Amino acid sequence: MPSELLSSASPLPASYDDAVAELDQLVLAMETGQMPLDRLLESYQRGAVLLGFCRERLQAVEVQVKVLEEGQLKPWAAA
């Protein structure tokens, strides 16, 4: 993956699932221990941006659920 794609200035993913997939790829690449230090730092920074994106998306969904349930979240049914 070119380093310009890892920059925290890179565009945000189109969806939560895309962000999680990119995070998974970054973690796998970082876990190899074969990444140069500057690229490791760029990957960490990009990961932090993606994590923030995911958290914001999850919070937005939670707000929507609360609105749909008139402010009361119902417990999840046991699977």
- Which pLDDT tens digit goes with each residue over 54-73? 999 999 998 888 888 776 66
Its pTM stands at: 0.70
Distance of CA 51 to the CA centre of its chain: 4
pLDDT of residue 76: 65
Of 53, 56, 27, the closest CA to residue 40 belongs to 27
pLDDT of residue 5: 42
Q: What is the mean pLDDT of residues 20-45?
A: 92
Residue with tokens 């994590």: 51
Residue with tokens 């932090």: 48
Q: Please give the radius of gyration of the chain, using alpha carbons only, rounded to the nearest integer.
A: 16
Amino acid at 66: K
Rounded Cα distance, 33 and 21, in Å:
20
